[in-house]
């Protein structure tokens, strides 16, 4: 544990689901932190200047990036694990090896099987592609709901880093539905969402109706642009 473990900054932006994971974990653990608002490139104005430390320490120029003291790390899941090591605060990762293994397995699963189709829903342009992503996301959420059936949580008996990784899906669910996610949420997944809304970290990441509208508006505009480009190319 380092002496400067209370000096934490998150470089992120509310619309980025990967940054939401980290923001949730910091709030849930009660870690005081600065937020350096760094919008993804699609959201930045033309005059936006990237901070030097971001260019230096985020190898793919991606948010989220976190600074603890003088050290930096980018990439949400490694960052979540690093913060558990570096910052003294209530843990979201158990010290028990078997429990940790389950949390890690589930974080990786969510990243692959739920995040991928979630992103494909809003970046989808053609109705068929959106419908296919919607079905895949519904299947993933049903599976994740089954994980919660015993304890209420995704991996173990308490909220963990698996909740942090999944949280952006709850945060943007209304937006996803407006952008073509038509899956029926299982009672288990819906109940998990309700439970997450009671967590200390929720208010730090929840979207206002205006944020949901901005998210939806951005991706509707993206679709219109793609369709008109495709139409003029054909
Ligand atoms: N694997 C990364 C993905 C992060 C990512 O894709 N971030 C996006 C914003 S949501 C980004 O910074 N893209 C580069 C850009 O906007 O220029 C993670 O888990 O943190």
Q: What integer best gives the mean pLDDT of the chain?
A: 96
H or E element that contains 71:
strand 71-74
Cα distance from N-terminal residue to C-terminal residue, the chain:
59
Closest residue by CA, ligand 1 atom 1: 75
Which residue ranges does the chain devote to CATH 3.40.30.10? 8-86
What three-state secondary structure class fits 163? helix
Give the Å distance between the CA of 83 and the centre of ligand 1. 18
Predicted local distance difference test score (pLDDT) of residue 5: 64
Give the Å distance between the CA of 183 and the centre of ligand 1. 26
* CA dihedral over 183, 19, 220, 111, signed as positive or negative: negative
Residue from 12, 13, 15, 40 to probe ligand 1 pocket by mutation (most atoms less than 8 Å from CB): 40
Quick one: 64 exposed, middle or buried, by C-beta within 10 A (0-12, 13-18, 19+)?
A: buried
Per-residue pLDDT of 6-18, as tens digits, reads: 799 999 999 999 9
Give the Å distance between the CA of 216 and the centre of ligand 1. 19
| Strands of the sheet with 8-12, listed across from one edge | 34-37, 8-12, 65-68, 71-74
Per-residue pLDDT of 41-50, as tens digits, reads: 999 989 999 9
- For residues 152 and 3, which has the higher predicted lDDT (pLDDT)? 152
Residue 224 has pLDDT above 70, yes or no: yes
0.95 cut: is pTM over it? yes
Give the Å distance between the CA of 232 and the centre of ligand 1. 30
Per-residue pLDDT of 20-38, as tens digits, reads: 999 999 999 999 999 999 9
Written as six digits, the tokens of 212 are 């949901």
Predicted local distance difference test score (pLDDT) of residue 2: 47
- Please give the average per-residue pLDDT across 79-107, as a whole number: 97
Which residue ranges does the chain devote to CATH 1.20.1050.10? 97-204
- Please give the average per-residue pLDDT across 222-228, as a whole number: 93
Q: Which residue has the tokens 């999944």?
A: 166
If you classify domain 8-86 with CATH, what class do you get? alpha beta
Provide CB contacts within 8 A for 146, sequence distance 6+: 186, 188
Which atom of ligand 1 is closest in space to residue 58's alpha carbon? Answer: 12
232: confidence class by pLDDT, cuts 50, 70, 90: confident
Predicted local distance difference test score (pLDDT) of residue 234: 77
Give the Å distance between the CA of 40 and the centre of ligand 1. 7
Closest residue by CA, ligand 1 atom 2: 75
Predicted local distance difference test score (pLDDT) of residue 230: 86
Per-residue pLDDT of 58-86, as tens digits, reads: 999 999 999 999 999 999 999 999 999 99
Closest residue by CA, ligand 1 atom 14: 62
233: confidence class by pLDDT, cuts 50, 70, 90: confident
Written as six digits, the tokens of 51 are 């901070």
Give the Å distance between the CA of 157 and the centre of ligand 1. 30
Whether the Cβ atoms of residue 165 and residue 80 lie closer than 8 Å to each other: yes
Closest residue by CA, ligand 1 atom 10: 16
Closest residue by CA, ligand 1 atom 13: 62
Residue from 23, 24, 40, 62 to probe ligand 1 pocket by mutation (most atoms less than 8 Å from CB): 62
Q: Does domain 97-204 have CATH number 1.20.1050.10?
A: yes
Ligand 1 pocket at CB < 6 A: 16, 18, 40-41, 61-64, 75-77
Alpha carbons 107 and 85: distance in angstroms, whole number: 17
H or E element that contains 131:
helix 127-147
């Amino acid at each position: 544990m380092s002496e400067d473990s209370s000096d934490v900054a998150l470089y992120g932006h509310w619309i980025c689901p990967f940054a939401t994971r980290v923001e949730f974990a910091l709030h849930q653990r009660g870690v005081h932190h600065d937020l350096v608002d760094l919008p993804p490139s699609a959201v930045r104005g033309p005059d936006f200047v990237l901070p030097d430390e971001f260019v230096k320490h985020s190898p793919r120029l991606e948010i989220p990036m976190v600074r603890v003291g003088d050290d930096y790390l980018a990439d949400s899941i490694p960052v979540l694990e690093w913060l558990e090591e570096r910052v003294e605060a209530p843990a979201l990762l158990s010290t028990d090896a078997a429990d940790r293994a389950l949390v890690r397995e589930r974080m990786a699963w969510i990243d692959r099987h739920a995040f991928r189709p979630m992103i494909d829903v809003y970046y989808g342009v053609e109705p068929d592609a959106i419908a296919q992503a919607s079905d895949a996301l519904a299947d993933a959420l049903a599976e994740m709901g089954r994980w919660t059936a015993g304890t209420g949580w995704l991996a173990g008996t308490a909220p963990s880093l698996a909740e942090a990784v999944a949280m952006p899906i709850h945060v943007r669910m209304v937006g996803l539905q407006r952008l073509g996610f038509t899956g029926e949420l299982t009672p288990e997944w819906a109940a998990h969402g309700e439970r997450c809304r009671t967590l200390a970290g929720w208010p730090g990441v929840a979207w206002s109706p205006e944020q949901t509208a901005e998210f939806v508006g951005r991706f509707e505009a993206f679709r219109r642009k793609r369709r008109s480009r495709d139409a003029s190319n054909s």
